[in-house]
Amino acid sequence: MSKKIDVSKFEKKMIIRNIKAADFDAIIEMQKLCFPNMEQWKRDHLQSHIDIFPEGQFCVEYDGEIIGSCSSLIINFDEYDDQHTWDEITDNGYITNHDYEGYNLYGIEVMVHPDYRRMKIGHRLYEARKDLARELNLKSIIIGGRIPNYFKHAKEMTPRRYVEQVTMHNIYDPVLTFQVMNGFTLKRINPNYLEDDRASLRYATLMEWNNIDYRPTVPKRQFKTSFPVRITTIQYAMKKISSFEDFAIQCEYYTDVAASYHSDFAVFPEIFTLQLLSFLPEKSPSLAIRRLTEFTEDYIELFTNLAVKYNVNIIGGSHFVEEEGEIFNIAYLFRRDGTIEKQYKLHITPNERKFWGISGGDNVNVFDTDCGKIAIQICYDIEFPELARIAVDQGANIIFTPFCTDDRQGYLRVRYCSQARAIENQVYTVLSGTVGNLTDVENMDIQYAQSGIFSPSDFTFARDGVVGECQANIETVVVGDVDLEILRRNRRAGSVNQLRDRRHDIYTINYKQK
């Protein structure tokens, strides 16, 4: 009697999945084999791809070995010149111009290991892209395709004639023939597309695959002539109170004010919950902070209810929270749908460390809201330009900065840096600070603030880059509108373009996310 055959020893596992950081070295080595005379990916490129649009980066793993990969981003193709280059469409390979609200998936590279060709690896990668386009309800996939066999025919025919002959299957081109067979149609031919593509003589075919399942009525795909977002930033008075209920009344009053102006966001200052210490007897700063953390659940419940009741997203200032024996300075986002997010303060000031023993967080977060993506960077954090750049690269359009400063010099550090971040990153920034005095609370002696809303500095924005600002050192609010559509257009065609003009070839930010 013959033995039962163990089929598992014959199995070969082929997996199509999203690229991870552990794949970078294999992808770079594969690219050297696929495109030996062309500039290779750097790890910074690939890291940027998975940071910004991880679901658009695919690889094929065969028995544990990476044998194929492709990269892509989302754009509004109508915003780009018909004769664009690869560098323009990819921001020099870093895809920081990726737009989640775009209509088109743009493929920027496909490669298959030479030892594994004729196994339909490229076809599988193209199908993964098509599935993604359907899943994200994108109108089409667009690619700028090389024509690597053109150099063999350049003396006897124009690029147009060559493309026609390949399309009619009279000439074989490994890239164009493959794209035609996968359902892509020719839109035009772009000269000077890829600088180091000598085989194609720098020509590229602009090809498109149309998603027949595309649903143009989905609301987020509707064109906007403007996208106004109204913000109320609150210059909060730190005055003596006798109970948590007093604190809640003051917070509800300002939330009501923001709602009465139909605001999308109400912004409270950093550590304004220290007002609660004005009715607690503890005088030691470090022990008082431990007492303050006992109000965390009350604070979260209060602002969750206010956000829902008044239909406004609330940046709940910040509050000291105890987690596993450590005290953190945490800013909460209370969405008007009742959901909650939080951002830890990353950089702790000498004063916070000395008097209160505060620990720093580890991650830069970007949050989705019904008014687009936003980030929160608490006081001292806005003075570190890397954090804002990381947040904007992840899609943030507004950076909120709750702050607490005791004198004018400290305030101006926060303000000047906030305005610098707005210019550097073509982003809106918002400050909310505390005023008044808490004479009975140690280490909260005096307050200085002039809260405001700031924009990039260009013709389409507010004069001097100031959307609105409070008078210094009085209890008040300022209400201002920012327009995300104007911001988007400015990033594409402003007088200057700090985001697109970065020199990725000589510097980059390596964000070590935990």
Q: Which whole-number Å values give the CA distances from 409 to 203, 406, 433, 448, in the listed order?
A: 56, 9, 14, 9
Q: Are 149 and 172 in contact (CB under 8 A)?
A: yes
DSSP 242: S
SS (H, E, C) 261-326: CCCCEEEECCCHHHHHHHHCCCCCHHHHHHHHHHHHHHHHHHHHHHHHHCCCEEEECCEEEEECCE
Q: What is the DSSP string of 386-443?
A: HHHHHHHHTT-SEEEEE---SSHHHHHHHHHHHHHHHHHHT-EEEEE-EEE--TTSTT
Q: How many CA atoms are closer than 13 Å to the CA of 450, on its beta-carbon side?
A: 16
In terms of DSSP bridges, do strands 58-62 and 140-146 run parallel, antiparallel, or are they unpaired? unpaired
What's the CA gap between 487 and 374, in Å, rounded? 13
What's the CA gap between 175 and 206, in Å, rounded? 12
Token pair recorded at residue 152 = 């063999």
Determine whether 345 is an active site residue.
yes
CA nearest neighbour of 456 among 500, 424, 495: 424
What's the CA gap between 217 and 498, in Å, rounded? 34
Q: How many CA atoms are closer than 13 Å to the CA of 28, on its beta-carbon side?
A: 15
CA nearest neighbour of 350 among 373, 380, 322, 394: 380
Q: Which residue in the list 34, 251, 379, 417 is annotated as catalytic?
A: 379
3-class secondary-structure state, position 41: coil
Q: Are 177 and 149 in contact (CB under 8 A)?
A: no
Token pair recorded at residue 71 = 């990269």
3-class secondary-structure state, position 141: strand
Determine whether 442 is an active site residue.
no
Determine whether 34 is an active site residue.
no
Q: Which residue in the list 270, 352, 383, 469 is annotated as catalytic?
A: 270
The count of other CB atoms within 10 Å of the CB of residue 287 is 12
What's the CA gap between 375 and 396, in Å, rounded? 6
DSSP 80: S
Q: Are 411 and 405 in contact (CB under 8 A)?
A: yes
Q: Which residue in the list 130, 139, 342, 345 is annotated as catalytic?
A: 345
The residues carrying an active-site annotation are 270, 345, 379
